[in-house]
Structure 1
Amino acid sequence: MSDANQLFGQALVKSLVGERGHIRVARALPDIDAELAGKKNVEMPYSIYQLLKHMSYWQQFMLEHLEGRKPQLLGNVMESWPEETGPQSEEAWQAVIKEFLQGVDQAVKIAETAQLDDSLAHFPGETKAGLLRNIASHNSYHLGEIVLLRRIYGAWPPPGGGFPA
C-alpha cells in the first residue's frame, strides 16, 4: 500500500467515524431510546428512526459494492425511507443502531486496508475511495439532522458531552 493510499485511508477513517467538525457517530446514537427515535416533529419530514434506517440502507448498499457484489437498486430513492416513523420495540431500535455502527466499522476496515484507487466491478467510474467518501458525507449530512432533532426535543447533549473528542 502506498503512502498516499495510507494517508488518504486515514483521512477517510476520520470522516467515517466523525472528527473535529462533529461528534463521533458512535457517541451521538446509543443513548437515543425507541420513544425519542420515533418522535415526529411537524417541521421535519422524518423521525430519527427514519433517518437512521435510510442511512443504514445506503451505507449497506455502498458496502456491498465495495465488497464486489452488485446490490439491487431501488426503483425509486424514496423507497429507502421507511414508512413507519418509529421502531416496533426498544430491542428493534437497538438492533438498528448496532447494524448501522457495524457498517461504519466495516467501512473503516476497508478504508484502512483497501487499495483505494481500485475501481468497482459493478459501479462504473467509481473507486473504493470515492464510495467510502460518499458513505462518510451521506452519514455526516444525516447525522447533523439527527443532532438537530435531538436539540429540538431537548435530548442534547448525549452523555459525555456534545462536542468532538
Structure 2
Amino acid sequence: MENHTSILINELKKLLKGGGAHVGLKEALADLTIEQVSKKPDLLPYSIWQLAEHIRIAQWDMLEFSKDGNHQSPKWPEQYWPEEVAPESEEAWNKTIARIETDLKEFIELMESADLYSQIPHGQGQTLLREALQIADHNAYHTAEIVVIRRLIGAWKS
C-alpha cells in the first residue's frame, strides 16, 4: 500500500501537469503560430507570448528558490513580464515552451526527492508543498487566460 506522501506526490504531479478539471498548459500552448501568439486582443493586457513567458519566468523563479539559497528573484512585477508583445522569433517561442516543460520536470524531480513538508532553509516558512501548489495555481490561472485569448482570436478548437 502506498504511503500518504507518495499519494500526495502523485496527485501533485497530475496537478502540475494540468490537473483533470480543465485543459493543461501544454495543450493550451500547442499548435500556435507566431502570429497568433503575438496578438493582443482589444482591452486585454497581454498576448499569449507574454503570458507564456511570464509563466516561464515565475515557474523558474519558484524552482530556483526551492533549490538554491543564493537565488535572487527578479524584481516584481517588471522583470516577471516581457514588454514585447511578440517573441523575437519562432525559435524564441519554442525555447519558452521547452523551458517551461524542462523546469517543470526538474521541479517534479526535486519534489520527488525531498521532504514536501520541511521548511526551505533559506525561506520564510515556505515548503516544497507550498511551492508546488503555487506553481500549479499560477499556471492554471494563466492557462485559462491563454485559452480565452485563443477563443477571441479564433485559434481554439471549440
TM-score (norm 1): 0.87
Instruction: Report SS of the residue matched to 2:125.
Output: strand
Contact 2:48 2:146 in 1 (8 A): yes
**Secondary structure of 1:124's match?**
coil
* Counterparts of 1:152 and 1:13, CA distance in 2: 30
Q: Give per-residue Cα distances to partners, 1:129-153, cap 9 Å, x unaligned.
A: 1011101100010000001100111
What is residue 83 of structure 2 aligned with on the other side?
83
Shift in Å at residue 113 of structure 1?
3.1
Structure 2 residue 115 is matched with structure 1 residue 118 = no
Query: Given that residues 17 and 25 in structure 1 are in contact (C-alpha distance below 8 angstroms), is that contact kept between their aligned partners in structure 2?
Result: yes
Deviates further, 85-94 or 24-33:
24-33
Residue 41 (structure 1) aligned with residue 41 (structure 2): yes
Give ranges in structure 2 of 5+ residues lacking alignment. Answer: none
Q: Distance in 2 between matches of 1:35 and 1:55?
A: 20
User: What percentage of residue pairs aligned between the two structures are identical?
Assistant: 34
Letter in 1 for 2:53: K
Q: Does structure 2 conserve the Cα–Cα contact (< 8 Å) formed by 1:10 and 1:111? A: no
Structure 1 CA distance, aligned partners of 2:113 and 2:27?
25
> How do 1:5-154 residues align onto structure 2 when only pairs under 5 Å count?
5-154=5-154
Matches of 2:121 and 2:143, distance apart in 1: 29
Question: 1:49 Cα shift?
Answer: 0.5
- Give yes or no for contact 1:9–1:111 (8 Å, CA) kept in 2: yes
Work out which structure has the larger RCO, using CA pairs closer than 8 Å and 6 or more positions apart in sequence. 1
Aligned length: 157
Query: C-alpha separation between the residues in 2 aligned to 1:146 and 1:7?
Result: 30
Residue 67 of structure 1 and its aligned partner are, at CA, apart by: 1.5
Higher strand share: 1
Q: CA deviation at 1:26?
A: 2.1
- Give 1:103 shift: 1.6
Within 2, Cα distance between the matches of 1:76 and 1:106?
A: 24
Counterpart of 1:68, as a letter, is D
Conservation of the 8 A alpha-carbon contact between 1:51 and 1:142: yes
Instruction: Measure the CA separation in 1 of the matches of 2:112 and 2:25.
Output: 18
